Amino acid sequence: MEGMGQFFAMGGYAGYVWPAFAIVLVVMAALWFISDRGWRKSEQTLAALRKNRRQRESDAE
């Protein structure tokens, strides 16, 4: 336990070291999440639009 506490204390600089690593993780995860969701959404919209068009084309025939 002693070791763990020491580890988390970061030699008294816990207030600087941990936030630094945390923000890196948060920003990287957020960027990834936003991009991934944007991509998925765009795939869905595209598929829907294409289906729409195919339908209309077959209607027209």
Partner 1 sequence: MSLHYFANPTRFTRLAGRIQPWAGGLAALLLAVGFYLALIVVPADYQQGDTVRIMFVHVPSAWMAMFCYIFLAVASAVALIWKHPLADLAAKASAPIGAGFTFLALVTGSLWGKPMWGAWWVWDARLTSVLILFFLYLGYMALWQSIEDGQKAAKAAAVLALVGAINVPIIKFSVDWWNTLHQPASVLRMDGPAIHPSMLWPLLIMALAFKVYFVALLLARMRMELNLRRIRALRLAERSS
Burial class (CB in 10 A: 0-12, 13-18, 19+), 17: middle
Q: How far apart are CA 58 and CA 61, in angstroms?
A: 5
Q: Is 51 in the site for partner 1 (CB under 8 A)?
A: no
Nearer to partner 1, 2 or 43 (CB): 43
The 3-state DSSP class for residue 24 equals helix
Among 2, 4, 5, 12, binds partner 1 (CB under 8 A): 12
Interface residue list for partner 1 (CB under 8 A) = 7, 10-13, 16-17, 19-21, 23-24, 27-28, 31-32, 35-36, 38-39, 42-43, 45-46, 49-50, 52-53
